[in-house]
A and B are shown apart, each in its own frame.
Chain A
């Protein structure tokens, strides 16, 4: 196999190599000496931050980008160091990664798998990025992860909640810090049973695409195990904006809980519509009618406004956690930008640090060495307590938060309150249950 997919241009930014280029004019550097794709040979290393900058998730993407900029600042020794001070691994020292100054390039995923891959490819081929990270949906994460596997660079997933990312579609070069649908179900069900009882009848509205399917399945299985009955599950189109015709029949079905397996704009609209219908004031089967949103995000809660009050859901992380890592991160993010970070920002910041740390420990940017350093890596001090990067599927296992919409928010950021921190043991599952093959790591070149 000849040299592939290659191109490392970032390194030429350092003048030395440009000089070398002059020395060998008209030489085809076909099979380069690089041991892996985009091996950084200059005094800098380039990371690619691929986040949605246009489209409905642009605000979430902007928050991810803020987190990455903060992480780069900390890696290069600027600022107050944030979570680097609380991180259990002490390999990072503020001198960049392996002594190379960290640079970054940004791209726009548009939350479309095609656009995300085009943007990632341009970072790999044009800018010489040695790692790609970011994203705000599972479709994009799975697509870019597969691309990074092919190209031979590491992919550190941003916000992606579908089981598929580290299940059916897992790849050896891809790693996910965020939690998934299964964990949401496992964490939520006991809390729901405790607060709403074990003899509830649930009605599911499910976004009609992969993430919706896995989330519905996870919540169904875990609530049914607690004794709940699933009355009906109706799929709603992704492009739906007005959910009234899906919500109106809920009461007639005799259900007393509505589960909204929706995210982003879908979730904001369906929750707003459901509250409008006055569902929460109704009494069915002698019980108060309740609404559940399996995956919460603070940014989306903001879009739904007062409608989230008292509604349960799960989240990967929240700024009001009281561990040292969270406090350090919220402090440096809040000081720099003036408001607390979202869960997407947290996961992206953590991913950037985890990658840098893995390179530092491995002593090489080679994706295979980095992957080896991340596999089975146990750490603490990054929020969420003790965390394991499982080797079998490259999924992080850590505590999951169950949250509830706050009744009396003190500011526009203070919308969720933590109800319980579900310990990691309760959300761990067997790596083989979702199928898929990890494959072997690909260093490119």
Chain B
């Protein structure tokens, strides 16, 4: 189906099903229960999951296939966001022109930066991309304040022109981004017993965009072009000796991956019309590297998993405070309750960075292939139980 083989079709359908059912899957605990703290099925976080998923999928096309580690990819996310917000300010609150401009702009930036940076390889390439991104951050935060909003970020204002759809919403407020009349923040809720599920238009729009991006990524992975990129990763020298110029291929991968980042940036701005310079800081670039490695470099689904894991930590674990902790352990005798709270407290709430760091270390030490390898090991465990123990173990396919 869609020009994919059976396995890839299954994967695509699986991801489609997961994203479509995310409002249910991410809200497994009933409202008001002690575990409701772990529910992640609210619009903002679900949007972040898929948007950072797009960002990581795009990054993986460059890093996973060619092995070129860009340490400045967040710059394209920032460019996309700024372009989208400027489109909202000047033209229209419809997200489509914003997304188009963002992808084009980030593509142009990626072409320029990629053309220069790809003259070097290995760590030299990483530092070049890092240098470009840090320069863009520093300038956006300071001297470019008239264009970027600087510290406070680029925001919409009541007196923006918005030439296509007028200036002010009916209630005198700044209009919100939408798609032909549907607003990105529109939601409906479904109450089932003690459970409440929220279906958000912005989320489903982003999810659809992510599925399309994912489909394109699969096609790239399976195409001759993808094969060429893998060959570059395996042995660039040999390719060069065969008389092949690899630069156009790596540059194409870089630009595609930059456009994915710009697309993610545009979606972020569409869900929440603000673009801040911090989006381009090196830690943001580092984050997408970590997402990809955490999920599984070079795998199709890994980056999405990695993005989800990190964003979940950031948004859920950081919100648990000592009060909530006390309410969890309230059924225990006082002394034991306090002891448990004292033991757990450093890892949650303001200590969520610590938990994140520990998870990075554990995953990379015990699951060299990232979360995907964890999934494969579990799957293998079940398989080997069902079949014979002597059955040959399926190999991890590093190239996938």
A residues near B (Cβ < 8 Å) are 1-7, 9, 12-15, 18, 21-22, 24-30, 32, 53-54, 58, 61-62, 105-108, 112-115, 117-119, 121-122, 125-126, 137-139, 142-143, 146-147, 149-150, 162, 164, 169, 208-211, 213, 235, 237-239, 437, 439-440, 442
Contacts and interface: CB of A to CB of B under 8 A. Distances in A.
B317 to A, nearest CB: 10
Contact of B172 (A2, A21, A114, A440): A440
A209 B142 contact: yes
Interface stretch (B103-111, B151-159, B256-264): B151-159
A166 B135 CA distance: 31
B171 A112 contact: no
Interface of B: 31-32, 36, 39, 42-45, 48, 138, 141-143, 145, 150-153, 155-159, 169-174, 176, 183, 185-194, 196, 198, 272, 274, 276, 278-279, 314-315, 318-319, 321, 349-350, 352-353
A4 B183 contact: yes
Contacts of B151: 137-139, 209-211
A12 B153 contact: no
Contacts of B196: 7, 9, 12, 21
Contact of B142 (A2, A26, A122, A237): A237
Contacts of A61: 350
Contacts of A137: 151
B321 A106 contact: yes
Contacts of B314: 115, 118
Contacts of A164: 152
Contacts of B176: 4, 150
Nearest to A126: B42
A108 B153 contact: no
Contacts of A28: 188-190
Given A117-B274, A138-B151, A437-B158, A209 B145 contact: yes
Contacts of B36: 9
B319 A106 contact: yes
A238 B142 contact: yes
Contacts of B183: 1-2, 4
Contacts of A211: 151
A371 B276 CA distance: 28
Contacts of B274: 113-114, 117, 143, 146-147
Contact of A442 (B142, B173, B188, B193): B173
Contact of A114 (B138, B173, B279, B319): B279
Nearest to A125: B42
Contacts of B349: 53, 106, 108
Contacts of B141: 208-209, 238
B386 to A, nearest CB: 37
Given A13-B32, A150-B185, 17 more contacts: A3-B188, A4-B183, A21-B191, A25-B191, A53-B349, A62-B350, A114-B276, A121-B272, A122-B319, A138-B152, A139-B152, A143-B276, A162-B152, A169-B155, A210-B145, A211-B151, A442-B173
B150 A209 contact: yes
Contact of A107 (B189, B194, B279, B319): B319
Contact of A235 (B142, B155, B169): B142
B153 A113 contact: yes
B81 to A, nearest CB: 9
Nearest to A150: B176
A123 B191 CA distance: 20
B186 A2 contact: yes
A9 B33 CA distance: 12
B189 A113 contact: no
A21 B156 CA distance: 38
Contacts of A169: 152, 155
B128 to A, nearest CB: 19
A113 B278 CA distance: 8
Contacts of A162: 152
Given A108-B318, A138-B151, A118 B48 contact: yes
B318 A119 contact: yes
A442 B152 contact: no
Q: Which 4 A-B pairs have the closest CB atoms?
A: A53-B350, A209-B151, A208-B142, A440-B172
B145 A114 contact: no
A5 B186 CA distance: 6
A61 B32 CA distance: 27
Nearest to A235: B142
Given A25-B193, A28-B189, A142-B155, A13 B198 contact: no
A305 B189 CA distance: 54
Counting chain A CB atoms within 10 Å of each CB, which of B44, B145, B186 scores highest? B44
Contacts of A122: 42, 44-45, 315, 319
Contacts of A5: 185, 187
5 contacts: A3-B188, A4-B187, A125-B42, A150-B185, A237-B138
Contacts of A213: 145
Nearest to A164: B152
Contact of B170 (A1, A117, A237): A1
A147 B349 CA distance: 23
A239 B188 CA distance: 43
A234 to B, nearest CB: 12
A125 B43 contact: yes
A208 B150 CA distance: 9
B350 A439 contact: no
Nearest to A137: B151
Given A112-B278, A209-B145, A30 B315 contact: no
Contacts of A6: 187, 189
A16 B349 CA distance: 30
Nearest to B271: A121
A12 B44 contact: no
Contacts of B39: 126
A121 B44 contact: yes
A12 B276 contact: no
Contacts of A62: 350
